[in-house]
Chains A and B, each alone.
Chain A
Amino acid sequence: MAVNVSVPTILRTHTGGEKSVEASGSTVAEVIEDLESRHSGIKGRLVKDGSLHRFINVYVNDEDVRFAGGLAAAVQDGDNVTILPAVAGGRESHPVR
C-alpha cells in the first residue's frame, strides 16, 4: 500500500527537509519501518518500547490511529498519513526554576 506521509518540521532532519514523503505498508508499523529504511533515525522519534511514542500523534486520513489499533492500524493504498508532535506539558514537583 503506497501512502503519503506528512512530516512535521521537527522530524524533517530525517527527511532532508522534505515535509511530504512516500512510504508503503499495510499497517502504521510497516509504514514506519519503510520510512526508517530510507530516512534513518525517524523510527526512534516515533516508536518507543514497541508502541507509538507518547507525545507523537499519527493520523490516517485525519483519524488518530490510537483509536484504530495504534501501530497495528490498517493503512490502504492512497491514504494520507500525518505525523504531528503532541502539544503538551505540565509542571513537575521540582520545577527547573
Chain B
Amino acid sequence: MLRIRRDLVDAMVEHARRDHPDEACGVLAGPVGSERPERFIEMTNAERSPNFYRFDSMEDIRLERELDSRDEQRVVIYHSHTATEAYPSRTDVNIAGYPEAHYVLISTRDPDVHELRSYRIIDGEVTEEPVEVVESYMFSHTGADDVPDLP
C-alpha cells in the first residue's frame, strides 16, 4: 500500500500534464525505512520522448548524494504514460532497478482525467498496490517522530 500526501500527488500530475506528450519522470524522497514520501523531486527526462524516459545520469548521481546526506531514499519513482494506461510496460519492468521503491505510473492519455496507480516491481514481477491519498500524515499512524498518533 502506498500512503501519499495529496500535494505530492498534485505535483506529480502537474508535472506529467506539463510535459505531455513527452513522458515525465521523477522521485518522491522520504526518510530511509519510513515508506513515507515527503519530498517531490522532478527529474529531467533525458530521452525527451513520448515513448521512453530515462533519468539524466549526472542528475541521478547528484540526487543520490543529496539523498545520502539527508538520510533519505527514493520512496517513489514515478513516470507518465502519455497514450497508454497507467500500467508498467514490459520495458518498465525489465529495467526497474529499485526493488525497494514504489513505482507510480500516471497516464495523461485523457486530457481531463488522469490515472495514477502504484506498483512494486521486484525480480521482474509486477504487483499493484492500493494508493491512499491523505491530506496530511498527521494521525495516519505513519510513525513520524514529530507527529503524535491519536490515542
> Which residues of A pack against B, CB within 8 Å?
8-10, 55, 57, 59, 62, 64, 66, 82, 84-92, 95-97
How many contacting A-B pairs (Cβ < 8 A)?
A: 93
How does the 8 Å CB contact mask read for B74-100 relative to A, with 1 for contact and 0 for none?
A: 000101010111011111110111111
Q: B64 on the interface (CB 8 Å rule)? A: yes
Residues of A within 8 A of B65 (CB): 62
Secondary structure at the B interface, as helix, strand, loop or mixed, is: mixed
Question: Which residues, 81 to 135 on B, are CB-close (under 8 Å) to A?
Answer: 81, 83-85, 87-93, 95-100
Return the chain A residue nearest B79 by Cβ.
Answer: A89
Partner of A89, one of B53, B61, B100: B53
Tier of interface size on chain B: 35 or more
Contact of A96 with B95 in the complex, beta carbons under 8 Å: no
Q: With A57-B57, A86-B54 in contact, is A91–B89 under 8 Å at CB? A: yes
